[in-house]
Amino acid sequence: MEGELDIGPSFTSAMETVLAVMGPMAVGKSALTVRYNSGHFVDNYEPTLEDSYRKTIVLDGRSLVVYILDTAGSDQFSYLRDQYLKKGHGFIFVFSLTARASLLELDDFIQQLRFCRESDSLDGVTVLVVGNKADLTDQREVSEEEGRAKAEELGCAYMETSAKSGDNVREAFETVIRGIVDNRPASRPPSKKWCTLL
């Protein structure tokens, strides 16, 4: 796929903003990511092993390079998940509003994130819980309140999106990216200097 990158060495380099889209299988992670990146809806039913994209965006007047990792939902990749969770700056945890099991499965991700960060607080990490497939109103199994409650467990924001219609997709990504940028100690260079002086 175009824009695909080797996530190996470059993954952790300092100035990148790394955003991982995570969640159980078949909830629409790839659909969301592709929608955000290229503006169209992919309707094919193909599991993802991993895709990554580099996107240059202008947000609040600033130009940023964002790595977006579209991850595998399969449960067998928990080893990989650790890596994402340790190294990512921001996460979109996606579940499907039409599949309750997918919401429940987010618990695993949440636990794993806490474990990786070795802390119950998620300071310095930006997380957004996203309920996708909002367009399928007649198949909906999870209410907005439930989604919100899940987000509250994490102390993060909640949004409902539709990769198909595009609703809220851009907003969701930008919320996380903005969160990452705001979280980032912008004053790092000066403070470093100050430390050196000491």
Partner 1 sequence: MVDVDGACIVHAELSSGAGEVRKECMVTATAAAVAARSEPMMDAEVTVTDAGMGMSMGVDKDMGTDMGMGMGNEMEGRSNRGGDGGNGAGGDGTSVLGGDGAGGGGTVGVTNARDGHTDSARIGPAQASSAHAGSAHFGHAHANAAESRSTTAGSAADGQIEARAVVAQLSSSSNALQSGPSVEDTAPARARNGSSGSDGFVVVEDGFASPSEADLTEEAKAREAAFEEDLTRARARDPADVASIASAAFVRIVDGATMATAETPMAGEVYGSPLGVFDMARAATVGDPDAVYLHSISVLAPLFDASYRLLILPNGGETEGDDSEASTSTKISFKHMRAWYARFPYRARKNVKAVVMFKPSRLARATLTFLRSVAKANYDQLALLLPLNVVGLSPSEARAALEERVHAMAVLAGKMAGGGSERRGWSMLRSRSPPLSLDQLIASSSCVFGARLDAMTDDVWGSAAPVLVEDAIAFLDTPQHRDTEGIFRVSANAREIKLIRACYECGRPFPFEPLRDAALAAAVLKLFLRELAEPLIPGALVGDLHTAVGLGAGSAQRIEAVEAALAQFSARHFSTLAQLVPFLRRLAQTPANSMPAENLALVIGPNLVRLDSTDMTAIMAMSQTAVAITRMLIDESDTLFPTQ
x/- string (CB under 8 A) for partner 1, residues 58-97?
A: ---------------xxxxx-xx--x--------------
Q: Would you count residue 114 as binding partner 1 (CB under 8 A)?
A: no
Beta strands 62-71 and 50-59 are antiparallel
Give burial (CB, 10 Å; 0-12/13-18/19+) of 57: middle
Q: Would you count residue 47 as binding partner 1 (CB under 8 A)?
A: yes
Instruction: Give the whole-angstrom CA distance, residue 142 versus residue 50.
Output: 27
Hey, what are 39's tokens? 């503006």
Residues touching partner 1: how many (CB under 8 A)?
42
Contact 11, 18 (CB under 8 A): yes
Applying CB under 8 A, among 4, 108, 171, 182 the residue interacting with partner 1 is 108
- Give the 3-state secondary structure of residue 50: strand
Q: Would you count residue 142 as binding partner 1 (CB under 8 A)?
A: yes
Q: Would you count residue 126 as binding partner 1 (CB under 8 A)?
A: no
Beta strands 17-22 and 126-132 are unpaired
Applying CB under 8 A, among 4, 144, 171, 182 the residue interacting with partner 1 is 144
Q: Using CB under 8 A as the criterion, which residues of the chain lie in contact with partner 1 when the complex forms?
A: 6-8, 11, 24-26, 45-50, 73-77, 79-80, 83, 98-105, 107-108, 137-146, 149
